[in-house]
Structure 1
Amino acid sequence: GEELEASYIISRIRGILPGIVEEKAAPTGAFGTISSDVYSFTGMMREQLYEKKEEGNDDDLKELAVLYSLYRDKKALADEAAGYSDVEDKLSDDATLAAQKGLFVQSVSKLEEYAGCEYKYFLNYMLRLRERDSYQLDQMQFGNVMHGALEKVFRKMDEKDPKDTYLNWVQADDAALSAKMKEAIDTEFRAMSDELLSPEGEIIAEGRNRYIMKNIYELGDRTIKNLGMQIRGGEMSPRFYENKFNQRDDFASTSIAVPGVAGNVKLEGKIDRVDILDKGDTIYLRVIDYKTGNKDFSYSDLFYGKQLQLTVYLSVMVEKVKKIYKNLGRDVKVVPVGMYYNPVKDPYVEKPDSLDEEAIEKAIRRELRLKGLTGEEPEYQEMQEKGITDPERRLEGPADILGMDFYSKAYKGNPPGSPKGTHVLVNEDDFENIESFAGVKIKELAGDMLKGSIRRNPFTDGRNKTCDFCKYNDICRFDQVNRGDRAVYIKSDDEKAFQTISNIGGAAKNSGKVE
């Protein structure tokens, strides 16, 4: 079947009515109809045949037969229920051994998916079940077009000297960036099909594809202008684009030893963008991951293994950049100053009281700020957003580039001008502890994977759960109503998660190894 997607209308309603209270109906069984009675009967039948068969007797079977006779016209449904058995939580020993060879190389995104639901990972990457072919542009293609176009623009702006690259961005106005982005998106669409664009670059696709393509062009235009503003507003220069790492790279952060297993698990991935600032003996560095949906950094999600990418990418690039400069004859210190999700979206915002276009644009760009962790040193903040450490500036309102809001007056021990949120500013020890914790979590996930664990363990925050829009619902049959399945409840407590991450990561770092 096709993967379910949340209606885009929902996000629009949220944007128009930001104060609306959302409620999610809990799944409940239906009773009192012919259909519901059949389901109730088949559920009882399954319980008798499978869950209580060892304690059944002839009287039970006779009673079941009588009830069954009342539903002769529903025999197929009853037979299907009788033949249904629950899925296993673990692969057999033979299957585990057979699968292990293909599990020793893992992308970080796949590990995140395994953390979100082991059974979904099993169906997607081990059984390789795929949706039926579609000739429509889908969400993945949407993301691929944007990533590919952005890479092309950044490579066109790139120079051998990072300072010259930065100068190119400073000198490029919005019109020039828009033209480059339009050309890059054209190239991406032409590579997909010759039935999407005319030779002159006009959209000739029809229906849904035409609508999506127009949205991509509009989104690309907004995105490149916003990225240009972010780069001009700081001092860091884009340096690495769609940078890959794999099992052939000799990085300590990508080779994970798993207890009881011969050989290390090797990580691979692709980092959207890395910016640097060369200060002679020190190279300052930040990693950026483009996200076409809504994505905020969360210590709670990191704790559960659902947000490992930024942390692993940061570790990899610190090692890689140091190695690159060493090969150039420079022994430099590489200092991380930030790791961020960069929203690639066209947000809906609450309309300001004023109709001033500048105010509206500012509100939109506020939704497109970098989301993640920033080095707490004032110097690190300034190199990413000029003027942001000025106390008077902080009292004027939120940051324009970094995803920080500030208290306008003292609040619960926080002085005016201090950032809101949970540890959005972190020191060098914090970065190291977070990186060490990610290694611990990866080792845990890889260990479960290599042991053949394929539990159906989706997460829920009380409103949404991992499997709400999962394409494997019909196979998995995760059912909270009729079978009592339960999702893993995540309580979003970033402060508690941060402390736990710091303790576990700090212990692993101090021991000199990831345990």
Structure 2
Amino acid sequence: SLLEEVVHVAGNDPLDVDQFLSIFEDGLSALTYSTIPPSLDHVTVTGMDRGYAMEAKVVFVPGALEGEFPKRIEEGGFFTELEKQQIYKNSQLLFGNWLMDMVHQEQFYAYLALTRGSDGLYLSYPALTSDGQETSPSYLVSQLAHLGYFSEKKEVHNASLQGADRSFFSNPKQALSLLPSVIRDTLPPAHSPWTALASWAWTEPTEKPQLLKKLASLDYTNEAVMLPKDLAAQLFKPGGRFFSSVTKLENYRNCPYQYYLQYGLGLSERDDGKLNVMDMGNYLHAGLHQFGSALKRHAKDWKDATDEDITQISDTIASHLAPKIKFGILSSDGASRYTERNLKNTFRQTLTDLRSWSQRSHFHTDALEKEFLLHISDGNTDSFTLKGKIDRIDRCGEAAAIFDYKTGRTRASLQEIVSGLKLQLLTYLLALSENNDHPGLLPAALMYIYLSGDVKSTASVPPGGEPAISKKDMTSGFLLQDTTVLKDLDSALGEDDSYLSVRLKKDGGLYSNTSLLTEEDFQFLLTIVKKKLLSLYTEMSQGQIPIRPVRYKGASPCTYCPYHPICRFDPNLAGEGYEYIHMPSDSELKKQLKELAEKEDS
């Protein structure tokens, strides 16, 4: 067929030897085979889209990860799926395959890959990525295991001096690439196969350059040098003064280098136009603010809102907000419209829950999206300003409850506050405490309110009924250890349907709880947070930007960080690693706060 193509291209024109060879070599280089000619003993490496018609005794499927096997098909290209459907409906023009057709085709390829082996099937996947992050196996792996198709599961560990696995040496060149990671911490003994591998490569003229190149990586370091103070000032204090938010300082605490790349250099990913968690959060935040403002215009509090108010006002707000999210992406296709319905239902459910809580509370809404400026000084010549918005403040006399709306499951923890990872709620309280508009403020509650709409508990479902909403799952935070104040905040305090995770004793007292704090505890925490904010600002203004992400309870900012190609952080490299947060438990921290209070009294 290749010679026929040459004849077709050349026609009747005479070709000399050089011209013929040039055309023939180009043809050979571009030649591909759907099926490789078989031999007695061979291994065929192919993709699912080409090898689906093949059959073999044993089939190996490497890289069986979620989103890779089968391949996750996502909408892309210039036209959206909805636009392609409209064009086809009006003009019968077809721009490529339909999205669902490609999804079904990919699933069919996966099915064929799993059924081509007559004697055996092996699925494998890496447990970690190259930068140490955990991976998720394909859903097909768990389904096959549930159906009982797996006869054995093996976990293969990385090459090491102590490992007994010799399969790494089946390919000497591959083993040579593993040598630096194996001998990074200590040299192998004389009888080690890794010593034999290095000796062999040293004596082989073709392998010695590769050996030297591999060993040179042992001296590699990945460090970010400290910025000069004048450069740090230009990057982080463009107007001569640091004017930022507590969220950004939290980001600096989690990873200084990520902060430098994002806010110092202003690097960001290209907006792909897809809906993300931040868009959903903005939708719900804006909706709650507009609903509260609408109630104020009608001289109503949350507790006065009727079911008709919630339905009509929420529908009006949703119809205005949806077109503004990513240029109307919520109406672009079926999946996005489904997301819009979920957001709308979550919005309405949240309004109903907040109305229900307000009806049993003596607190009233004092402010929505309250803006603040917090000035902090080092006591000498340097100072900085934090700005922000408090989602909601409720008041009852001198007592104030501060609420922050969250779409994620952020749990309030004393450990995270003292370590500087979560400073938002206490910074809000600090800003109000130092504001002359709120003298003698009594902190009743600092709480996150979750806007998930999925807080249903199936622990006790009545026959033929719906799961009951677990109101305690809506909130997380810190409460004043005062029964009277907490009953003003929620008259159902101590009951199963209370919004506060607090239990009452028979005598009416409060059971010990890490979320319960005295007024003195709040004051000590404010002092700690103020010092932590100043410390973070000082480190940043000095130009300290180490590649040092925090790891706390298995989580790190690296999981969703887009800057890894720049920082190249590798926890396996010598001199690199996470900053592990080791803190006393919340109960121990409460004891320490109590001891500080007793010392202060004495």
Distance 1:506 1:439 in 2: 21
CA contact 2:303–2:359 (8 Å) conserved in 1: yes
Residue of 388, 394, 408 corresponding to 1:275: 394
Task: Go from structure 1 to structure 2 and tell me whether the alpha carbon gap of 1:359 and 1:216 turns closer, same or farther (over 3 Å shift).
Answer: closer
Shift of 1:352: 2.7
Gaps of 5+ in 1: 14-25, 49-60, 197-202, 247-253, 325-331, 389-393, 410-414, 511-515
Distance 1:442 1:122 in 2: 17
What is aligned with 1:235?
362
CA contact 1:292–1:344 (8 Å) conserved in 2: yes
Task: Go from structure 1 to structure 2 and tell me whether the alpha carbon gap of 1:319 and 1:464 turns closer, same or farther (over 3 Å shift).
Answer: closer
Task: Go from structure 1 to structure 2 and tell me whether the alpha carbon gap of 1:47 and 1:385 turns closer, same or farther (over 3 Å shift).
Answer: closer
Equivalence map 1:16-415=2 (5 Å): 29=158, 32-33=167-168, 37=175, 39-41=177-179, 69-70=206-207, 85-99=221-235, 101-102=237-238, 104-158=242-296, 165-166=300-301, 169-192=302-325, 195-196=328-329, 204-246=331-373, 254-258=374-378, 262-277=381-396, 279=397, 283-320=398-435, 322-323=436-437, 333-347=440-454, 349=456, 351-356=458-463, 360-363=467-470, 365-368=471-474, 370-388=475-493, 394=494, 397-398=495-496, 400-405=498-503
Q: Deviations over 1:94-137 (max 9, x none)?
A: 53343352461120111111111111111111122111221111
What is the DSSP-based 3-state SS (H/G/I as helix, E as strand, rest coil) of the residue aligned with 1:341? Answer: strand
What is aligned with 1:495?
587
Question: What's the % identity of the aligned pairs?
Answer: 21
Shift of 1:175: 4.3
Distance 2:574 2:485 in 1: 53
Is residue 523 of structure 2 the alignment partner of residue 432 of structure 1?
yes
Equivalence map 1:411-426=2 (5 Å): 418-419=510-511, 421-422=513-514, 424-426=515-517
Q: Which amino acid aligns with 2:577?
A: R
Q: Which amino acid aligns with 1:385?
A: D
What is aligned with 1:19?
none
Shift of 1:185: 2.3
Q: Which amino acid aligns with 1:111?
A: L
What is the DSSP-based 3-state SS (H/G/I as helix, E as strand, rest coil) of the residue aligned with 2:394? Answer: strand
What is the DSSP-based 3-state SS (H/G/I as helix, E as strand, rest coil) of the residue aligned with 2:278? Answer: helix
Q: Which amino acid aligns with 1:485?
A: E
CA contact 1:234–1:386 (8 Å) conserved in 2: yes
What is aligned with 2:535?
444
Larger deviation: 308-317 or 184-193? 184-193
CA contact 1:236–1:384 (8 Å) conserved in 2: yes
CA contact 1:165–1:238 (8 Å) conserved in 2: no
Q: Deviations over 1:136-170 (max 9, x none)?
A: 1111111111111111001111159xxx543xx32
Gaps of 5+ in 2: 1-132, 143-154, 161-166, 187-197
What is aligned with 1:391?
none
Shift of 1:400: 1.5
Distance 1:296 1:468 in 2: 19
Larger deviation: 178-187 or 62-71? 62-71
CA contact 1:119–1:454 (8 Å) conserved in 2: yes
Superposition RMSD in Å: 4.1
Distance 2:464 2:426 in 1: 37
| Number of residue pairs matched by the alignment | 432
Task: Go from structure 1 to structure 2 and tell me whether the alpha carbon gap of 1:155 and 1:505 turns closer, same or farther (over 3 Å shift).
Answer: farther
Distance 2:594 2:174 in 1: 50
CA contact 1:5–1:469 (8 Å) conserved in 2: no
What is the DSSP-based 3-state SS (H/G/I as helix, E as strand, rest coil) of the residue aligned with 2:467? Answer: helix
| TM-score, reference length from structure 1 | 0.72
What is the DSSP-based 3-state SS (H/G/I as helix, E as strand, rest coil) of the residue aligned with 2:489? Answer: coil
What is aligned with 1:54?
none
